[in-house]
């Protein structure tokens, strides 16, 4: 998960900059947010009660606004390549949820792996948008470059699962967040990734290399070019193995090792919360 448009510290010094089509980079009405670690802990506790409660994740990101988001967003969205990608990919959910079109891409492609993953997990890009909209409530939407870039980070989350090979089990989610931290640094990514790892180690009696898996994911994300700044349509059309090689995404060794250890310990990695309940 990534920072939403309501989670960004505003900088009025760049609010008047515009793209070639006249879209303003930063809307002047955006209000800076304060870092609120205690509130974040409260939302973390709620998330631990139900890891599917995506709204709590958005709240945590709001409590830790990223100080380096705007420079990255500005550099990309005002660049020639960024403006070309925005023109060809104005709204990713429409592309990502068109499974019929994605299936017409070559066998073995990222697109086919993505469709298989999303349908197996019962997910959709529109569903994540709906979760985000529920979190935002009646807060205003700003038609600026910041909103487009932030939404793009949100909408590529599940694609990162496919590219990295991390599943939607508890450790897999922490690993994707650690990977994302190196792609788009925000303390919220690290907070959730390592707090989640700590919770697993605290609640489940296991010798699985949980923290090694999270740290490895962080290293893998650093070695990979920023996916959010690539043409997602071109990436979807690539063979999955070739895409991983080109993006320098290595095999997540410790994640696979953790799953192997859990198999030997008769622990279901996709039901760690259930294991925690049994241990309580």
How far is Cα 99 from Cα 122, in angstroms, rounded to an integer? 13
- Provide mean pLDDT across the span 157-183: 96
pLDDT digits (tens, 9 = 90+) for 203-255: 888 999 999 999 999 999 999 999 999 999 999 999 999 999 999 999 999 99
148 band by pLDDT with thresholds 50, 70 and 90: very high
- Provide mean pLDDT across the span 152-175: 96
Q: In this predicted structure, what is the pLDDT of residue 39? A: 85
pTM over 0.85: yes
How far is Cα 226 from Cα 26, in angstroms, rounded to an integer? 21
- Per cent of the chain over pLDDT 90 is 67
218-235 in b/e burial notation, b at 16+ Cβ within 10 A?
A: bebbeebeebbbbebbeb
Average pLDDT, the chain: 89
For the record, the structure tokens of 154 come out as: 């949100």
pLDDT digits (tens, 9 = 90+) for 22-64: 999 999 888 777 888 888 888 888 887 777 777 888 888 888 8
Q: In this predicted structure, what is the pLDDT of residue 58? A: 82
User: Are the C-beta atoms of residues 65 and 2 closer than 8 Å to each other?
Assistant: no
The pLDDT of residue 277 is above 60:
no
Give the start-to-end residue ranges of the domains of the chain.
5-279
The gap from C-alpha 204 to its chain's centroid, in whole angstroms, comes to: 25
Nearest in space to 60 (alpha carbons), one of 180, 154, 186: 186
- Provide mean pLDDT across the span 138-149: 90
Q: In this predicted structure, what is the pLDDT of residue 61? A: 82
111 band by pLDDT with thresholds 50, 70 and 90: very high
Tell which wins on pLDDT, 1 or 134: 134
**Angle between the N-to-C axes of helices 272-279 and 170-183, in degrees from 0 to 180, rounded to the nearest 10:** 130
Q: In this predicted structure, what is the pLDDT of residue 117? A: 98
* Range of lowest pLDDT (19-23, 103-107, 202-206): 202-206
């Amino acid at each position: 998960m990534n920072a939403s448009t309501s989670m960004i510290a505003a900088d009025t010094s760049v609010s008047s900059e515009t793209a070639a089509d006249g879209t303003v980079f930063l809307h002047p009405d955006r209000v800076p947010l304060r870092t609120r670690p205690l509130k974040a802990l409260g939302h973390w506790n709620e998330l631990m009660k139900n890891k599917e409660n995506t709204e709590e994740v958005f709240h945590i990101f709001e409590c830790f606004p990223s100080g380096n988001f705007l420079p990255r967003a500005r550099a990309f969205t005002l660049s020639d390549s960024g403006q070309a990608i925005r023109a060809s990919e104005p709204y990713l959910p429409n592309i990502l949820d068109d499974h019929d079109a994605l299936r017409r891409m070559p066998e073995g492609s990222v697109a086919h792996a993505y469709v298989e993953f999303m349908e197996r997990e019962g997910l959709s890009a529109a569903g994540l948008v709906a979760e985000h909209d529920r979190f935002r409530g009646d807060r205003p939407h700003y038609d600026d470059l910041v909103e487009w870039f932030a939404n793009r980070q949100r909408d590529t989350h599940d694609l990162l699962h496919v590219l990295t090979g991390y599943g939607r089990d508890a450790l897999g989610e922490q690993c994707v967040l650690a990977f994302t931290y190196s792609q788009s640094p925000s303390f919220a990514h690290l907070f959730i990734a390592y707090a989640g790892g700590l919770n697993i180690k605290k609640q489940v009696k296991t010798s699985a290399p949980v923290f090694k898996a999270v740290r490895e994911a962080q290293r893998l994300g650093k070695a990979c070019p920023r996916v959010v700044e690539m043409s997602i349509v071109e990436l979807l059309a690539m063979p999955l193995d070739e895409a991983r090689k080109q993006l320098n995404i290595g095999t997540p060794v410790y994640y696979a090792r953790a799953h192997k250890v859990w198999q030997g310990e008769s622990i279901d990695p996709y039901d760690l919360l259930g294991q925690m309940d049994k241990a309580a």
